[in-house]
Amino acid sequence: MSGALAGKRIVLGVSGGIAAYKAVELARQLALQGAEIQAALTRSALAFVQSLPFEVLTGRAPISRMFPIEGAAHPGDMPHISLTGRADLIVIAPATANLIGKFAGGIGDDFLSTLLLSARSPVLVVPAMNPRMWSSPAVRENVKKLRERGHLVMEPGVGRMARAEEGEGSGRMPEPEAILAEVLRLLVPPHDLAGMRLVVSAGPTRERWDAVRYLTNRSSGKMGYALAAAAAARGAEVTLVSGPAGLPDPPGLRTVRVESAAEMREAVLAAWKEAHAGIMAAAVSDYRPAQPTERKHKKKDGPLTLKLERTADILAEMGKAKGKRLLVGFAAETGDLTKNAKDKLRRKGLDLIVANLIAGEEDAMGADAATAILIRAGGKEEHFPRLRKDALASAILDRLAEMWQKVKSTK
């Protein structure tokens, strides 16, 4: 099947709201784009729509029950687990107040809510409900929770509700075309970084001080890997220089594995020579033991003093002879975030800096989501809510693509 969504696997969850009839049209539009769709309807959804149109449009029987097992690919298959392992995206349209509450609270008491507990892909939640329900404190809190976990909750449309007496209000399900546009944005990246050679650094570094011990930090590498993978999907030729992050090589790009700040410097500067742009997301150690030993240090009574020396400042070196190349840096700060990030942007000659808090509840280090402020060389500041790192990566790359178009047009 051709189409923009060919080869993409989508689970379409439908819960019991009056807007469930619009999910049939959504299934049709997703199928026309070539998506492989498995519909999952709640029992309440079946009070509003029938299984049959979904079965005909998607070519698969929708799943509605946990017991007895429905939709198993083979004996022993548990679709509530296996489906999410394969899915590129889960779309819940319409999402009732009830389903949103169960998803936020981790309740799995039917097929769709249980499937959501094993979700690994992004989840696009499309709420639809009475405006009074949408504005209830419980729904507000649950929506906030889902967004903080990095899920995408669309804003319901404003307009006439299903029943004339409900009049105008916010709670209407967005139209299938708007949902399809969101799905395309999530699953079909633009090719706007084609022709760009990009170096991305990621992860922590390790600075050895004897045969078995080293100094490191909490960086997981997730942000840099998300950036590298998304940039490659958008057409860039990516070299990912990774410290010891414990993540698999992302497909479609070159990964260079390093350990220390010195090795990171060598690999990054080599790739930077040929690059059009660099995104430095690694948490490079600023210090290393001044006198590392080959042998294991024998423990003795009393304290041990380790003397540390500065490592090279890779970002500053890259910024110095930057020319027309684009350079994006990260600032991880425990306080005075904007001020420190702006200082760093200026000192290192960056085009864009991504400022992350690494303290308290907003801590970005090691987490799957981060709260970020993006600051441009011109001073423009954009504040983002806590987002999954892949969503933040795409926002950063949108800015990079915009700057790249400008650079290309002034050549």
Ligand X SMILES: Cc1cc2nc3c(=O)[nH]c(=O)nc-3n(C[C@H](O)[C@H](O)[C@H](O)COP(=O)(O)O)c2cc1C
Positions annotated as catalytic residues are: 217
**Interface size with ligand X, residues (CB under 6 A):** 15
Per-residue x/- track, 339-378, ligand X (CB under 6 A)? ----------------------------------------
Pick the closer one to ligand X by CB: 42 or 394.
42
- Rounded to a whole number of angstroms, the minimum distance from the CB of residue 406 to ligand X is 45
When the beta carbons of 42 and 219 are compared against ligand X, the nearer one is 42
- What one-letter code names the amino acid at 30? L
Nearer to ligand X, 19 or 245 (CB): 19
Residue 346, beta-bridge partner list: none
Q: Which of 58, 96, 255, 311 binds ligand X (CB under 6 A)?
A: 96
Contact residues for 286 (Cβ-Cβ < 8 A; gap 6+): 310, 311
- Under the binding rule (CB under 6 A), the answer on residue 154 touching ligand X is no
Shortest Cβ 113–ligand X spacing (Å): 7
Q: Say which amino acid occupies 154.
A: M
Q: How far apart are CA 340 and CA 102, in angstroms?
A: 40
Of 17, 174, 176, 204, the one binding ligand X by CB under 6 A: 17
Question: In this structure, what is the dihedral angle of CA atoms 301, 303, 307, 313, given to the nearest 10 degrees?
Answer: 120
Could you tell me if 216 and 204 are in contact, meaning their C-beta atoms sit under 8 angstroms apart? yes
- Whether cis (ω within 30° of 0) applies to the bond prior to 385 is no
Can you tell me the distance from the alpha carbon of 184 to that of 121, in angstroms, rounded to the nearest whole number?
A: 15
Query: Does 12 engage in binding with ligand X (CB under 6 A)?
Result: no
Contacts of 360 (CB under 8 A, 6+ apart): none
> Do 35 and 9 form a contact (C-beta atoms < 8 A)?
yes
Helix (H, G, I), strand (E, B) or coil at 255: strand
Q: Which residue's CB comes closest to ligand X?
A: 17
Among 99, 180, 282, 387, contact with ligand X (rule: CB under 6 A): 99
Which residues lie closer than 8 Å to 301 by C-beta, 6 or more apart? none
Give DSSP secondary structure letters for 48-87: HS-HHHHHHHHSSPPB--TTTT-S-SSTT--HHHHHHHH-
Is residue 98 part of the contact set for ligand X (CB under 6 A)?
A: yes
**Interface with ligand X (CB under 6 A), residue from 5, 11, 45, 354:** 45
- Interface with ligand X, residue 156, by CB under 6 A: no
Residue from 15, 114, 311, 356 touching ligand X (CB under 6 A): that is 15
Sites for ligand X among residues 110-129 (CB under 6 A): 128-129
Pick between residue 126 and residue 400 the one whose CB is nearest to ligand X. Answer: 126
Query: Closest separation between CB of residue 157 and ligand X, Å?
Result: 13
Residues 4, 28, 44, 215: which binds ligand X (CB under 6 A)?
44
Nearer to ligand X, 48 or 404 (CB): 48
Span from 57-65, 90-98, 144-152, 320-328 in contact with ligand X (CB under 6 A): 90-98
All residues at 6 or more sequence positions from 362 whose CB lies less than 8 Å from its CB, including other chains:
371, 386
* Contact criterion met (CB below 8 Å) for 40 and 11: yes
- Tallying the residues shown for the chain, one arrives at 411
Residue nearer to ligand X on the CB measure, 128 or 236: 128
Please report, as ranges, the residues that interact with ligand X according to CB under 6 A: 15-19, 42, 44-45, 96-99, 128-129, 133
